[in-house]
Structure 1
Amino acid sequence: MGFKNFRFQVVLRVALLVVSIFLFFRLDFKSQYVGTQLALGILIAVQTVWLIVFIERTTERLIKFLNTIKYDDFSENFSSRGEGKIFDELYQRYNEVIRKFRDVRSEKEATAQYFQSVVQHIGIGIITFKKSGEVQLINNAAKRLIQVPSLSRVDHLSAEAPELAKQLLALPAGQSTVIKLWQGKERIPVALYVVDLVLRGEDFRLASIQNIQRELEEKEMEAWQNLIRVLTHEIMNSVTPISSLAGSVAADVQDYLEAQPGEQIVLQREETEDMCMALQTIEKRSQGLVRFVHDFRSMASVPTPKKQLFEVQEMFRQLQMLFQEELLQANILFLIDCRPEGLKVLADRQLLEQVMINLIRNAIHALADQPNKTLQLDAFSDPDSRVVIQVSDNGTGIAEEAQEQIFLPFYTTKATGSGIGLSLSKQIVRAHKGTLTVSSELGKGTAFTLRF
């Protein structure tokens, strides 16, 4: 055990080296001792090398310890070699430092995994990438919005989403913009916001992508409801002159009755024509205003949905029965596809049927001039577990500029339409916290999509 003690071995090796050197020079290079002196010289050289190797061997563990830190390899463990209490304590400290680094790394990895999980599960799309365009992170929400399974470089979006790829690289830091992305046959508005970051001396960009379709629709409908209330007030005020005109006619008639108390009343032709014209004016304006106000009120007073679970396919069957005669006369092929068959939706059935009737009737009108007419109802669950209902036809389609305004109150593409149906339908769907969108192509058809 004594020979394993570092201090003892150093003293012993130095002492032996000193004795050897003393004897080497004590022989004084005499010719009769040449062989002995040569042997002593070799012994001195060997002892010197052994001493150097022994000392360097003690530093190997220090180098090994430093390498574990340099290369983040904290699996190493330093055990005592019987080199003395000082080295035992040194190796113990080495092991404590390694355990500390190991704990810090584990905590850092756990924290990174936690934030990675948070980023992957939030509803806002997140993309981080280098200024060169190399993507470092893209979460699930961003993948769903962009509709890509993975992304390694920003410029790879040039084919699917060229505007997004351009804005990700060119949009000034700290600014936001609204762009539209294709999701299947639909274009949805998204808000894009970017900031610049510096991590370990390298420049990065962090971009957030958020679907703002719901927010835009809520603001749009709120603005229209406010407008409707104001217009209704103003329209009702405009009825006052009509009421006054009616009162004047009634007063004239009363005057004639009082002036001619007999059973017969004589009126001048000119007076009769004036009364008739006044009454016709009152009738026409009253009917027009009543119809106008009724349409406005139907937009502003959508009842609160009384939601309950019911099977979508059963509703489809009842709608098919309701339109059976009309579809037969128009020679329209009516198709139903519900996946799975027992798919249920939580909604107000009466209000939803009202929306479906309006969409089906619009589809029937769109198919009027088509030779082969097909109207289809589809229902399924999307990747976010939302119930999707689609009403599609192979009719004439809707122009792109009309699609942007088709849900606005009183906007219509039909000569006899009021422009209320689709606006009211969208408001009903919004009251269910759902969305109603349209995708169409001229000459190929139209599809209205409801999501709940």
Structure 2
Amino acid sequence: MVFKNFRLQVVLRVVLLVASIFLFFSIGFKATYVGTQVALGLLIAAQTIWLIFFVERTTQRLIKFLNTIKYDDFSESFSPRGEGQLFDELYERYNEVMRKFRDIRSEKEATTQYFQTVVQHIGIGILTYRKNGEVQLINNAAKRLMQIPQLLHVEHLLPQAPQLVEQLLHLPAGQSAVLKLKHAREQVPVSVFVVDLKLRGEDFRLASIQNIQRELEEKEMEAWQNLIRVLTHEIMNSVTPISSLAGSVALDIQDVLEAQPSQTIVLQREETEDMGLALQTIEKRSQGLVRFVNDFRSLARVPTPKKQLFSLQEMFRQLQLLFQEEMAHEQITYVLVCTPASLQVAADRELVEQVLINLIRNAIHALADQPQKKLEVEAFMDSDSRVVIQVTDNGSGISEEAQEQIFLPFYTTKRTGSGIGLSLSKQIMRLHKGSLTVSSELGTGTTFTLRF
């Protein structure tokens, strides 16, 4: 057992090698000792090679340890071989590192399995793939939506869902798109949202695909209910007095006919004036009803935007000239800011001007009772590189309840007005693939934001 000690064996080999070399040179180079010298030379060479191989055994075990890490083969173990306390401790450290790697790999595999199970049970379709379209992961919800048992490449969806393939490969990161997937004889609306990921230096895309049929139906039903409620309210407001007045005139005429059965009927001036006034009222309310119907028809006749690139600074100058006299008369501080001055947007200029004119006029009305009146129109580019225009006033503000309904057709907080201006403006922004939102605080002011 003693001769298995590494240190002792190295010392013995070195001593024997030194003794052999000393003996080789001590006998001299005499012809009578040629055979002895050759034998000693061979012995020295053999001892040297033997010592090298013996020392390299430790290096080989280190290489073996590193290879287990390189190839993730942690089943290997290193047992002590009686080479001394130092080597026993070294092998024990090797084994500890191997056990640690095994624990890490087991934990990693368990975590991966857990997240894969979670992803597979999510109701929203999840799809991860490389930029070239090679699919890495697809969950059960995505398979059900696309009606496929498996998917290896995004382009394999081209026969049944070419629009989906186009969005998956080219939709800008952080944006969503709505399209339809064919299910048997039905078209199912889905929302697709894509983000870019980088994993170990490689680019990936993660897409979520969600069936929004129920949400759309609920929103559609809510919109119809709101529209019907507004329509019935407005129509009843006009039809009820018309019906009442018409009934009163009919009764008056019936009374006159019964009172004067002869062919010639004589009406008193007062009676004639009353009937004339009633008919004028009926005509006026009928005209109001016709205007209401025309306003309603205009909501469905917004033209398709003819987009072209134009300067916002130039448009602001024209708006300043347009409202200059009115602002001076109302004593409103009127500020238009475009940052940078060269900022441009691709949109239908006439329609955008219509939206801004409507918002500016609303702001002027909101400032009517304010002692210090200020109206600011500002254009800039946000953090997502989207062009934003904001119209801000320091008027009386809008209540939270009104903010929720202010974009509904025919809803208005003003005593006079059709209530379609903001609805038209929001529809124009939708046609531009943009948005129109409002933020307001009572007693502080209101900001309308156009985002292209």
TM band (smaller chain): 0.5 to 0.7
**How far did residue 93 of structure 1 move?**
0.6
Residues 270 and 187 of structure 1: is their aligned pair in 2 closer, same or farther, counting only changes over 3 Å? farther
Residues 240 and 84 of structure 1: is their aligned pair in 2 closer, same or farther, counting only changes over 3 Å? same
CA-based RMSD: 2.5
* AA in 2 matched with 1:240: P
Q: Write the distance in 1 (CA, Å) between the matches of 2:129 and 2:241.
A: 65
Indicate the larger mover: 4-13 or 163-172: 163-172
Structure 2: where are the runs of 5+ without partners? 267-274, 283-452
Task: Note the 1:10-25 alignment, pairs <5 A.
Answer: 10-25=10-25
User: Which residue in the other structure is 1:250 paired with?
Assistant: 251
User: Which residue in the other structure is 1:102 paired with?
Assistant: 102
User: Which residue in the other structure is 2:125 paired with?
Assistant: 125
Structure 1: where are the runs of 5+ without partners? 283-452
SS at the partner of 1:9?
Answer: helix
User: Which residue in the other structure is 2:302 paired with?
Assistant: none
**How far did residue 63 of structure 1 move?**
0.6
User: Which residue in the other structure is 2:324 paired with?
Assistant: none
Deviations 1:167-199 (A, max 9, x none): 211222222211111011100111111122221
**How far did residue 249 of structure 1 move?**
2.6
Task: Note the 1:17-416 alignment, pairs <5 A.
Answer: 17-237=17-237, 238-253=239-254, 266=261, 268=263
Q: Write the distance in 2 (CA, Å) between the matches of 1:229 and 1:126.
A: 40
**How far did residue 110 of structure 1 move?**
0.9
* AA in 2 matched with 1:266: P
* AA in 1 matched with 2:127: I
Q: Write the distance in 1 (CA, Å) between the matches of 2:151 and 2:132.
A: 14
**How far did residue 227 of structure 1 move?**
0.8
Q: Write the distance in 2 (CA, Å) between the matches of 1:267 and 1:212.
A: 72
**How far did residue 229 of structure 1 move?**
1.0
SS at the partner of 1:77?
Answer: coil
**How far did residue 140 of structure 1 move?**
0.8
* AA in 2 matched with 1:8: L
Q: Write the distance in 1 (CA, Å) between the matches of 2:147 and 2:137.
A: 15
Deviations 1:270-304 (A, max 9, x none): 89xxx9xx9xxx9xxxxxxxxxxxxxxxxxxxxxx
Normalising by structure 2, report the TM-score: 0.57
**How far did residue 250 of structure 1 move?**
2.7
Residues 49 and 239 of structure 1: is their aligned pair in 2 closer, same or farther, counting only changes over 3 Å? same
* AA in 1 matched with 2:246: L
Q: Write the distance in 1 (CA, Å) between the matches of 2:252 and 2:100.
A: 102
SS at the partner of 1:174?
Answer: coil
Q: Write the distance in 1 (CA, Å) between the matches of 2:68 and 2:20.
A: 40
**How far did residue 161 of structure 1 move?**
0.9
SS at the partner of 1:224?
Answer: helix
Q: Write the distance in 2 (CA, Å) between the matches of 1:36 and 1:79.
A: 43
Q: Write the distance in 2 (CA, Å) between the matches of 1:96 and 1:148.
A: 47
How many residues align? The count is 271
Q: Write the distance in 2 (CA, Å) between the matches of 1:269 and 1:104.
A: 111
Q: Write the distance in 1 (CA, Å) between the matches of 2:264 and 2:217.
A: 58
* AA in 1 matched with 2:244: S
Q: Write the distance in 2 (CA, Å) between the matches of 1:34 and 1:58.
A: 37
User: Which residue in the other structure is 1:9 paired with?
Assistant: 9
Kept in 1: contact 2:257–2:265 (CA 8 A): no
Normalising by structure 1, report the TM-score: 0.57
**How far did residue 163 of structure 1 move?**
1.1
* AA in 1 matched with 2:128: T
Deviations 1:382-418 (A, max 9, x none): xxxxxxxxxxxxxxxxxxxxxxxxxxxxxxxxxxxxx
